[in-house]
Structure 1
Amino acid sequence: MAEPSRTPSFLGPDLTALHLKWGWFVVLGVVLLILGLIALGNLFEATIVSIYYLGALMLLGGIAEVIHAFGVKTWGRFAYWLLSGLIYCLAGILAFVNPLLASAVLTLVLAISLIVAGILRLVAGFSSPSGGLSGWIVLSGIITLLAGLVVAVGWPVNSLFILGLLLAIDLIFQGWASVALGLAMRRLGGDRLPPANGTLA
């Protein structure tokens, strides 16, 4: 009698597919880690790349909104979508024409957003009942507020590298998570393989 296949088909189609493709997760993670390290060593260039990426997204989004504007029936909605689309297109074009200016604007927006988010978290933490998660909320608010203040104090000089630094960190964390996921799926499949006689332990 032929020995049964050791493919963990009893894991279910979704888990089985992930287990069989664990190597792709690892390869993707390694590539992202390498790109993140390259970006970390070239922060200015990484900042320009991130600006071009955001500019392309804004330009595509603006074009989509302009096209959508001609599909609406009322004049008010048409004007709203058309104006919104044109603003997005202009912002995208600005990112390509003057990436340094776009980087400075986005870095300032980032600083303001972090400061506002930090203040809101502090208010939420201090207004929450004592104990439980309120302390963690306050700590999170302090860290976010300090991060915003650091970015604001270094503006506009840090706009030359801050977005590239964020891109590098994001790539590194995504790469590490992808590698960890791939190795976890490999172990999951190995741990749940049926014995050679085809019976479950």
Structure 2
Amino acid sequence: MTHHEMIPDTAPRGLKTWLWIVGVVSIVMGVLAMLFPFAATLAAELVIGAILLASGVLELVRAFAMRQSGNLFWNALFGLTAMVAGGLLLAWPMQGVVTITIVLGVFFLLGGAFKLAAAFGMRPFAGWGWVGFSGALSVLLGVLLLFGLPGTAFWAIGILVGIDLIFLGTAEIAMASAIDRD
């Protein structure tokens, strides 16, 4: 399949404009998240709490609606667990920020170690060094997050969300720029 076969000849009407709008808004939001990392971190924690609480309520409703299946207890227990987790994050957001940062730090630390091990197992294939470099950076990030606690909890998630939004916005603008260029 050639490059031209993978991209439709005509983009849906208005797509280019929307990609530009969403791209610019994503970049602006990303820059704001990086300028105000505590606010972005707190907002992300509260959104996660609200999502868990809402999904817990929906799971309880589903559990009782499907009680004939014989799994009422386990389904209701899952719903209650999600509700409690969400409620705790919403009731004590500062502790939730620290907890989420710990989970993220452990994820980076372990994920990085696994990537390093995989990289050395990939030798002598081309690119193994990049996987190793990525793993080393993940380990370093995990160490920085964990050993910097509780201070890192107040900025880390906001910075990471900001970086992600900036890259997303850049990708959307690149896609908008590519429309009609081929």
Which bin holds the TM-score, normalised by the shorter protein?
Answer: 0.7 to 0.9
Identify the residue that residue 116 of structure 2 maps to in structure 1. 122
Q: 2:38 aligns with which of 38, 41, 44?
A: 44
Distance 1:18 1:41 in 2: 35
Q: Does 1:69 align with 2:63?
A: yes
Partners of 1:62 and 1:84 within 8 A in 2:
yes
Equivalent pairs: percent with the same residue? Answer: 30
For the structure 1 residues 44 and 20, does the alpha-carbon distance in structure 2 shift closer, same or farther, using more than 3 Å as the test?
closer
Distance 1:68 1:181 in 2: 40
Q: What is the 5 A alignment of 1:160-179?
A: 160-179=154-173
Identify the residue that residue 91 of structure 1 maps to in structure 2. 85
Partners of 1:19 and 1:185 within 8 A in 2:
no
- TM-score, length of structure 2 as denominator length: 0.87
Identify the residue that residue 106 of structure 1 maps to in structure 2. 100
For the structure 1 residues 19 and 177, does the alpha-carbon distance in structure 2 shift closer, same or farther, using more than 3 Å as the test?
farther
Deviations 1:74-120 (A, max 9, x none): 54x32222111111111111222111110000000000111111111
1:65 partner amino acid: E
Distance 2:32 2:122 in 1: 43
Point out where structure 1 has 5 or more consecutive residues left out of the alignment.
1-10, 189-201
For the structure 1 residues 180 and 19, does the alpha-carbon distance in structure 2 shift closer, same or farther, using more than 3 Å as the test?
farther
Distance 1:176 1:117 in 2: 26
Distance 2:9 2:23 in 1: 19
Distance 2:133 2:25 in 1: 34
| 3-state SS of paired residue (1:18) | coil
Distance 1:162 1:119 in 2: 20
Q: Does 1:141 align with 2:135?
A: yes
Partners of 2:48 and 2:86 within 8 A in 1:
yes
For the structure 1 residues 67 and 177, does the alpha-carbon distance in structure 2 shift closer, same or farther, using more than 3 Å as the test?
same
| 3-state SS of paired residue (2:68) | coil
Partners of 2:11 and 2:179 within 8 A in 1:
no
For the structure 1 residues 15 and 97, does the alpha-carbon distance in structure 2 shift closer, same or farther, using more than 3 Å as the test?
farther
Cα RMSD (Å) of the superposition?
2.3
State the shift of 1:148 in Å: 0.7
Q: Tell which structure's C-alpha radius of gyration is larger.
A: 1
Distance 2:67 2:129 in 1: 49
1:179 partner amino acid: I
